[in-house]
Structure 1
Amino acid sequence: MEKKITFRIATEQDLDKIVKMLADDTLGSKRERYEQPLPESYLKAFQAITSDPNNELVVACQDNEVIGVLQITFTPYITHQGRWRATIEGVRTSSSERGKGVGTELIRWAIQRARERDCHLVQLTTDKKRNDALRFYEQLGFKATHEGMKMKL
């Protein structure tokens, strides 16, 4: 029998596992620093996220073990008649759980959460080098309708 996945707001005790998941892939290993103790920057970011009512760091759990994570940010816009939108970032599943549907359930949960917050749009970005992720998001109904641009500071 397949185990049920539950979702909850992350706690500070989850931070180690979250950073480990973020660092556990080809691109993440180049930009994250998973070490003990964790760099202070992760705790500061966690505190900023949890103190903002328009940010949620969410973990997917199976038998109380964290197996996935994402951040969802709710933003009001003047465009689209002042409607809100949700932005999904930092989506990862444990390497041992990849390909088992955890990511699909996590994104579907986030879409439902955006509906609950009365968002008219859910958006996300993914690195163009992540071909599997691009296909994954397209299969869930996301469309590449805009060209995203970034500037590192």
Structure 2
Amino acid sequence: MEFRTATLTHLPAIVRLLADDEMGATRERFIDPLPNEYVEAFAKIEQQIGNSIIIALDNNEVIGCLQLTIIPGIARQGTTRGQIEGVRIDRNYRGQGVGESLFQFAIHEAKSMGCELIQLTTDKKRKDAHRFYERLGFVASHDGMKLALSN
């Protein structure tokens, strides 16, 4: 297994992972060809310094992904933080340590970019994910809120 920053060639596999669960199935559109919105979003991520999709590969097959965004801040005496979102592990690889290894890689990357804190968002309905994050040492210390800006 190896970890690296995703390229455009990995995008269909990433969208497949995002769509392959009960919540993603209603939010994502994994079709061929991929809708242009995904390609445009990926291009924006690649252009933004400190923003990347990290993938886990097994024999060149994408088996996991997450988005890591580095956020410089003023709060906490100028603390830089890493934001993790869009975490998915292929259902055939769950329970085999892929997620934990992917997180350890992402945390190492965040530290190397000066982060002193890692934060993540997770849907309240994802109870298994909550247990996984807590096992990794994450603490549910804040409540998050969202405001949808589209119709």
CA–CA distance in structure 1, aligned partners of residues 129 and 141 of structure 2: 16
Moved over 6 A (4+): none
The aligned residue for residue 50 of structure 1 is 46
**Residue of 8, 13, 18 corresponding to 2:9:** 13
Percent identity between the aligned chains? Answer: 51
CA–CA distance in structure 1, aligned partners of residues 129 and 79 of structure 2: 28
Q: What TM-score does the superposition give when structure 1 sets the normalisation length?
A: 0.95
**Residue of 16, 28, 33 corresponding to 1:32:** 28
- Tell me the CA shift for residue 66 of structure 1: 1.1
2:43 partner letter: Q
Whether 1:77 and 2:73 are equivalent positions in the alignment is: yes
**Residue of 77, 82, 86 corresponding to 1:86:** 82
- Tell me the CA shift for residue 63 of structure 1: 1.5
2:82 partner letter: A
Q: What TM-score does the superposition give when structure 2 sets the normalisation length?
A: 0.96
Say how many residue pairs are matched.
Answer: 149
Unaligned runs of 5+ residues in structure 1 are: none
Deviations 1:1-59 (A, max 9, x none): xxxx2111101110110000000000110100011111100000000001111101111
The aligned residue for residue 41 of structure 1 is 37
The aligned residue for residue 147 of structure 1 is 143
Whether 1:127 and 2:123 are equivalent positions in the alignment is: yes
